[in-house]
Structure 1
């Protein structure tokens, strides 16, 4: 896109007719790129965005044409067939449902051919210390096939009724890819497909400060697990395992194990965060699909700290890229 930037410079001081001709060429080239931007990714906070930048690669920029236009960053990835995939980077929205909805609406406005938005970030996970298969651990990845806004409630005389359980589900096409990737976790044969997200993690972990996987003692549940179910369930203890299920979203920084477990029991929520409902609502209003990809950094209880946040961000970004590329 350097030719667009050069054209902006060349227009200065030219006669109106020549400026109009250059501007027309500029708009045509910009539109050509915009038409290729069918997927956008959104992060809430800086270290999530840093992980996305590292994993997806340094972005290119579509320069502004008018004074009021906003700059658009994008990266070029490739699918399994080697075709280029153009992905817009929406940047950081800030924490909260309204902020995420605004960021989704803005990137949809800036990229009118956009079809899907992927939210990449960290979340609290739902542990299950008695069932190995259902235990969501620190460093795992959760992809939402359903979204619940658990702070959207009706309260009557001390009783609450959930109202936020009718949000648009995750994009069906991308979820089909997710389930194929998840299935590959269970293959041990010599023809098993590579787990591209694990490659992205190992290739990029040294490029991001504090991104090394924390040691087992930094997982407060590592000494509490006493599985009575799922003994034969095979999963790695030192690599992220990918779960698919319901994600709960609210303007709540969750540090309450009892409340978390109640939400899990009543609504089958397996991860908790603060932006997904906004993306789901805005995407539905723009007639777009969305997907929520989360790295697990804490358990939403009193043990919450920041030790796993950067590693979890890296895991989420790595799996999101694997989804987009269909690896």
Structure 2
């Protein structure tokens, strides 16, 4: 174990005057470097090398910062900023949790939060969780980024554990939002069903998509509309079944891969016990459709956040050029052809007037969200599964996250995906920032309509 105190003593006889190219550091300078590197740690030799300073001085100053609680040494001997989370009084406890998985998603969500503060909560073995607390509308919220998401066992465990810690730390959370990017399910002939890059998919029960809409659905005093039935679901995870004892589970390179059909998978379904968030999501959309010529609230939030994020040099949150949205259709095992995107009926004047894509804004879709590595990797299989279950988007396997939400008895949750590609959201990097921003904006629109929880 690295000991900064013992190392400082061992170097006490070192005379920096013998090395005139070294310069004396100040505590403020070291603290500034640690702050700038956050949330990443810095090694002490790197600090010394970057500033052309004596490492003994770096050791001494870092020791002082650690003693003041400003910085912390990791198990690897690196130094990291500490912003310890204060005890939050009952009236300031967040009632909304927002979970993201990628850096651009967290930036987009943070841009929607007012009066925000970011804190680090340390666990054992150098593990830490970063939480951003603040307000959206009338709600106190907490946002975090998962350390890893994916199909590896370690990523699944980490994602589920982070969610469990989040909900254990903030026990007054009543609503959970999973916000970020995903892969759209295209429709090659129907403009209304076609999900394009930059669009938004809101996780709702496909069964309810065919019930017709009521502008006050779920808010007309009839609470039964918020309650799901046994046939409702908003998230589907596809896991490959073994067709023989010798076949490895989910083996993408096996000889069984080409024999996959929709029936080759085991499907797991999730649905919140209350559909309150889903009903609000539909309501604000239908109200915007009725207000022809008006600006939907989420489009305004996109513009406001984009201006805020211009100050960041990390990512560009602008909508990419239209010609980067290429659509391909599978015509065989490994063959695809490029397709034109379906257009609205030219005789339908309302479609032409209300198409948000023509003004560089996302179109909103409602349906289930799916996941599963093998389902996403096979284009035809992906389309078949989406058609069977009413899936509008796929993401990178959040099943352990949703299972944790369910296990922590959170009855109201929703998944919002901005579309970045036609797979699972992880492929087309240039669309990810705008897609994440769009999803975060629709999240804010829902929260601004959601009534606060009565004390």
1:307 and 2:395 correspond = no
User: Does the CA contact (< 8 Å) of 2:200 and 2:419 recur in 1?
Assistant: yes
Partner SS, residue 235 of structure 2 = strand
- The structure, 1 or 2, with the larger RCO (C-alpha pairs under 8 Å, 6+ apart) is 1
Give the deviation of 1:71 after TM superposition: 6.5
Write out aligned runs for 1:97-246 (5 A): 98=156, 99-145=158-204, 146-150=234-238, 152-157=239-244, 160-169=263-272, 171-189=274-292, 194-206=295-307, 207-208=309-310, 209-221=315-327, 224-226=340-342, 232=348, 233=351, 234-237=354-357, 238-246=360-368
Q: 1:268/1:154 Cα in 2 relative to 1: closer, same or farther (>3 Å)?
A: same
SS in 1 for 2:89: helix
Superposition map of 1:10-89 within 5 A: 30-33=87-90, 36-57=93-114, 59-61=116-118, 72-79=131-138, 85-89=139-143
Q: Is the aligned partner of 1:280 residue 2:402?
A: yes
How has the CA–CA distance of structure 1 residues 291 and 34 changed in structure 2, closer, same or farther, with 3 Å as cutoff? Answer: farther
Per the TM alignment, residue 260 of structure 1 is displaced from its structure 2 partner at its CA by: 1.8
Tell me the CA shift for residue 107 of structure 1: 0.4
> For the Cα contact (< 8 Å) 2:198–2:419, is it kept in 1?
yes
* Alpha-carbon distance between aligned partners in 1 of 2:164 and 2:347, rounded to the nearest angstrom: 45
1:258 aligns to 2:361 (yes or no): no
Deviation track 1:140-177 (CA, whole Å, cap 9, x = no partner) reads: 00011210001x24333567444333323485111111
Structure 1: which 5+ runs fail to align? 1-8, 10-26, 80-84
> How many residues get paired?
294
Shift of 1:36: 2.8
Q: Distance in 1 between matches of 2:166 and 2:112?
A: 20
Q: Distance in 1 between matches of 2:146 and 2:237?
A: 21
1:216 deviates by 1.1
Q: Contact 2:177–2:416 at 8 Å: present in 1 too?
A: yes
Larger Rg: 2
Give the Å deviation of 1:217.
0.6
1:94 Cα deviation from its structure 2 partner: 1.9
The question of whether the paired residues in 2 share the 8 Å contact of 1:272 and 1:300 is answered with yes
* Contact kept in structure 1, 2:134 and 2:140, CA below 8 Å: yes
- Aligned residue for 1:165, secondary structure, equals strand
The equivalent residue for 1:18 is none
Give the whole-Å Cα distance in 2 for the aligned partners of 1:132 and 1:49. Answer: 31
When the two chains are superposed, the root-mean-square deviation of aligned CA atoms in Å is 3.4
Task: State the distance in 2 between where 1:163 and 1:66 align.
Answer: 36
CA deviation map 1:13-52 (0-9, x unaligned): xxxxxxxxxxxxxx9x835257631111011111111111
Report SS of the residue matched to 1:163.
strand
Instruction: Name the SS of the counterpart of 2:271 in structure 1.
Output: coil
Native 8 Å contact 2:375 2:381 kept in 1: no
Residues 60 and 125 from structure 1, CA distance in 2 versus in 1: closer, same or farther, beyond 3 angstroms? same
TM-score by length of 2: 0.57
